[in-house]
Amino acid sequence: MGYDYLKLCNDIKDLTNKYKSLDVFHIGKSVMGRSIYCIRVGMGKRKIFIGGAYHGLEYLTSLFLIRFIDEYMFRIINKWWFAGFNTEDIFKDVTMFIVPMVNPDGVDIATNGLDLLNIHHRNLIDTVGIHDFRHVWQANARGVDLNHNYDANWKMTVPSPSPTKYGGENPESECETQAIVNFIRKTDFDMLLAFHSQGKEIYYSFDGTNEKKAFLAAQKLADISGYTLIRPTGSDSYGGCKDWFIKEFGKLGFTIEIGKGKNPLPISMIDDVFLDNARIILCASEIIS
């Protein structure tokens, strides 16, 4: 069992019932018309963008972000610290904009498989040429890998729609990518965290931009989590959300690869990944505050 869009929608509803100060809105729609939700947490002038499930098989990142919001808000209300961090100060200084599922259609394919009555799914079978997508699907409902679709040294890694690594006809060709970049362009973010799985790694640079500052901040995130720092190379080094954010704004952007194992990581791994990654978000928030 995975963590699909329906579960996400139910959990967001529960969160907003529980914590009345949370603001939930959508920043755009997926190819299949699903809302891409954003949850605003905090009251500070500093702003951090946090995204999860850019890739279909990586829905553990969505569950992590939802649970993070729940546990963070619980501590705010009770005026408790969280994993060694002063939550009251962070809440006052930093506003988090959390998009827990950037790619709802891809997650749906990876968790629930194909629906032969669905025109998008039938098109995928024709273009990609395979019939069982559940254990391989990373892309959106048009077979575009959303973390290769950003305008940052964009290039064709794979020539046509595929479960993974096809960057689209051109940068920002996909509505999910457009939703993210349009939202980020109109909000003055200080930092971006893009959550993926797996590897227990932190990717920290793009094209040498502000390399020293990025390395120092990434080192703090690595120290607090025990994750390994990686300077991206090969197909990991362009076309991604954090690459575009660094290129466009010259600010700090990191890709966090949660957990270790074979994707999809099991939902039961949430306890194993939770604290390390909660610390990463809290530490990142302190860095910009």
Of 15-23, 54-62, 81-89, 153-161: span binding Zn ion (CB under 5 A): 54-62
Of 53-61, 83-91, 262-270, 276-284: span binding Zn ion (CB under 5 A): 53-61
Rounded distance, CA 98 to CA 82, Å? 18
Restricting to residues 99-118, name those near Zn ion by CB under 5 A. Answer: none
Closest approach, Cβ 255 to Zn ion, in A, equals 8
For Zn ion, the closer CB: 58 or 176 = 58
Restricting to residues 259-278, name those near Zn ion by CB under 5 A. Answer: none
For Zn ion, the closer CB: 73 or 194 = 194
Of 6-14, 50-58, 108-116, 201-209: span binding Zn ion (CB under 5 A): 50-58
Closest approach, Cβ 66 to Zn ion, in A, equals 18
Altogether, the residues listed in the chain come to a count of 289
Rounded distance, CA 102 to CA 178, Å? 11
Q: Are 139 and 114 spatial neighbours (Cβ–Cβ below 8 Å)?
A: no
Of 48-56, 79-87, 91-99, 202-210: span binding Zn ion (CB under 5 A): 48-56
Closest approach, Cβ 55 to Zn ion, in A, equals 4
Closest approach, Cβ 139 to Zn ion, in A, equals 11
For Zn ion, the closer CB: 7 or 196 = 196
Rounded distance, CA 106 to CA 232, Å? 24
Rounded distance, CA 68 to CA 97, Å? 13
> How do beta strands 46-51 and 191-197 pair?
parallel
Restricting to residues 77-96, name those near Zn ion by CB under 5 A. Answer: none
Residue 120 interacts with Zn ion (CB under 5 A)? no
Rounded distance, CA 70 to CA 45, Å? 22
Residues contacting Zn ion: total by CB under 5 A: 3
Which position's Cβ is nearest Zn ion? 196
Residue 196 interacts with Zn ion (CB under 5 A)? yes
For Zn ion, the closer CB: 95 or 138 = 138
Q: Which of 34, 46, 55, 142 binds Zn ion (CB under 5 A)?
A: 55
Q: Cα torsion for 248, 30, 115, 117, to the nearest 10°?
A: -130
Task: Give the closest residue to 257 by CA, choosing from 284, 222, 214, 208.
Answer: 222
- C-alpha 41 chain-centroid distance: 16
Residue 7 interacts with Zn ion (CB under 5 A)? no
Max CA separation in the chain (angstroms)? 55
Distances (CA, A) of 68 to 96, 119, 208: 11, 36, 31
Within 10 Å of residue 176's Cβ, how many Cβ atoms?
Answer: 27
Task: Give the closest residue to 146 by CA, choosing from 230, 53, 59, 61.
Answer: 53
Where along the sequence are the contacts to Zn ion (CB under 5 A)? 55, 58, 196
